[in-house]
Amino acid sequence: MTEVDWLGLNRANWDDRTAVHAASDYYDLPGFRAGGSTLRAFELAEVGDVTGKRLLHLQCHMGQDTLSWARLGADVTGLDFSPAAVETARALAAETGQPGRFVVSDVYDARAALGDERFDVVYTGFGALVWLPDVRRWAEVVSSLLVDGGFLYLAEFHPIANALGDDGRTLAHDYFRADGETYDDPLTYTDGPPLTKTRSVQWQHPLGEVVTALVRAGLRVDFLHERDFSLFQAYPALRREANGEYRFPAGHPRLPLLYTIRATKA
């Protein structure tokens, strides 16, 4: 599949998803407008104080995470390939009175879209890397966007979780998948009506591939943390805890379901 094919399919799919997401309980835009934050406690602890720092959020979707960093004092820029998502993010910034700039661009074209700008922090949140075919090219773009001494913070779903079957108990899929997989799904992951642009292409990136790409791009990995919980009930066996995290019950073998990486440009 050519770059235009996958990029066009995925952009149309995410343009279609945006209206559904904006109206969903899952994203809770009214709650965000009222002052809520979409960042998790471990993200805040691992990124640290962002006051006065220039922060770029790649694949920002509707901008809630981006503007949550702005509420903590960061000078934020969000970038996403979906014009519909960026339009929603700009409206959300205006409605909440949060300063933030949002740019329409594919990640691989971010350097051209942002010119000579460099950032103290490049942030990428959950569910982003599966939409990119070439993680090494992504890492090179990230490195080019950072000032010396700046860092990437990546919070992602663990690729081993994508190898589990629907029951969360058995290995059902190949962990090492080089080719993209095309999906035709009428529903997005939130509540809401069916989509009209249902096809998308996604890629699996093993953890070693991600770490190696960052190192080869000139970044020093400060830490890699794997976590045994998810942000939603990905499998029937997961149980929701009081803090909103979903874990396998006692006695079930534990697996990493999330990971975070911080990598600094020397």
The domains of the chain are located at: 3-32+51-265
Average pLDDT on 120-148 reads 98
* pLDDT for the residue 169: 76
Q: How confident is the model at residue 202 (pLDDT cuts 50, 70, 90)?
A: very high
DSSP state of 237: T
pLDDT tens digits, 13-44: 999 999 999 999 999 999 999 999 999 999 99
| Cα(28)–Cα(24) distance, integer angstroms | 6
- Among all chains, which residue has been given the structure tokens 């070693």? 208
Look at residue 219 and give its three-state secondary structure.
strand
> Which residues make Cβ contacts (< 8 Å) with residue 242, sequence separation at least 6?
none
- Tell me the two tokens of residue 192: 């809401």
Look at residue 232 and give its three-state secondary structure.
coil
- Report whether 81 contacts 104 (CB < 8 A): yes
Inform me whether the pLDDT recorded for 257 exceeds 80.
yes
Task: Write out the H or E segment, with its range, that includes residue 202.
Answer: strand 199-202
> Which residues make Cβ contacts (< 8 Å) with residue 13, sequence separation at least 6?
195, 197, 198, 199, 200
Task: Write out the H or E segment, with its range, that includes residue 18.
Answer: helix 3-22
pLDDT tens digits, 64-104: 999 999 999 999 999 999 999 999 999 999 999 999 999 99
- Class for the domain spanning 3-32+51-265: alpha beta
More reliable by pLDDT, 167 or 120: 120
pLDDT tens digits, 10-20: 999 999 999 99
- Tell me the two tokens of residue 9: 């399919």
Inform me whether the pLDDT recorded for 246 exceeds 80.
yes
Share of the chain above pLDDT 90, in %: 86
* pLDDT for the residue 177: 87
* pLDDT for the residue 212: 98
Q: What is the pTM of this model?
A: 0.96
- Tell me the two tokens of residue 60: 């920002």
Amino acid at 248: F
DSSP alpha helices (H): ranges in 55-105?
A: 64-71, 83-96
Q: What is the CA radius of gyration of the chain?
A: 18
* pLDDT for the residue 190: 93
Q: How confident is the model at residue 53 (pLDDT cuts 50, 70, 90)?
A: very high
| Cα(116)–Cα(65) distance, integer angstroms | 24
* pLDDT for the residue 91: 98
- Tell me the two tokens of residue 164: 């589990």
- Tell me the two tokens of residue 23: 């109206």
* pLDDT for the residue 157: 96
Inform me whether the pLDDT recorded for 164 exceeds 90.
no
| Cα(102)–Cα(104) distance, integer angstroms | 7
DSSP notation for 154-184: EEEE-GGGGGB-TTSSSB-S-S---S-EEEE
DSSP state of 126: T
* pLDDT for the residue 149: 98
Amino acid at 23: A
Q: How confident is the model at residue 2 (pLDDT cuts 50, 70, 90)?
A: confident
